[in-house]
Chains A and B, each alone.
Chain A
Amino acid sequence: MSVKLNTRQVGDVSVIDVSGRITLGEGSSTLRDALRGLVTQGQKKILLNLGEVSYIDSSGIGELVSGFTSVTNSGGELKLLNLTKRVKDLLQITKLYTVFDVHESEASAVRSFA
Chain B
Amino acid sequence: MATVLAVPSLGENLRHAPETANQALDSTLDSVDRAEELAVRMARSAGFDEDDLVKIGMAVRESMVNAVVHGNRYNSNKKVHFSVATGPERFTVTIADEGEGFEYRNLPDPLSAENIMRTSGRGIFLIRSFMDEFQIRRLEPGGTEVTLVKYMVSK
Interface residues of A (CB under 8 A from B): 23-25, 57-59, 61-63, 65-66, 68-69, 86, 90, 93-96, 99
Contacts and interface: CB of A to CB of B under 8 A. Distances in A.
Given A93-B129, A94-B126, A65 B69 contact: no
Nearest to A89: B54
Interface string B60-71: 011001000100
Contacts of A68: 117
Interface residues on B, range: 20 to 34
Contacts of B61: 23, 57
Contact of B125 (A25, A57, A94, A99): A94
B1 to A, nearest CB: 21
A24 B69 CA distance: 10
A69 B116 CA distance: 12
Given A24-B69, A86-B54, A61 B122 contact: yes
A62 to B, nearest CB: 4
> What does DSSP make chain A's interface, helix, strand, loop or mixed?
helix
In the A-B complex, the 8 residue pairs with the closest CB atoms? A62-B119, A58-B122, A66-B119, A58-B123, A25-B29, A95-B111, A62-B120, A65-B119
B58 to A, nearest CB: 7
Contact of B119 (A63, A93, A94): A63
Contacts of B122: 58, 61-62, 94
B126 A65 contact: no
Contact of B118 (A25, A59, A65, A95): A65
B64 to A, nearest CB: 10
Interface string B31-59: 01000000000000000000000100010
23 contacts: A23-B61, A24-B29, A24-B32, A24-B69, A25-B29, A57-B58, A57-B62, A58-B62, A58-B120, A59-B120, A61-B122, A62-B120, A62-B122, A63-B119, A65-B117, A66-B119, A68-B117, A69-B117, A90-B126, A93-B126, A94-B110, A95-B116, A99-B117
Contacts of B54: 86
Contacts of A66: 119
B126 A58 contact: yes
Contact of A96 (B29, B58, B65, B116): B116
Contacts of A57: 58, 61-62, 65
Interface in B110-141: 110-111, 116-120, 122-123, 125-126, 129
A63 B117 CA distance: 11
Contacts of B58: 57
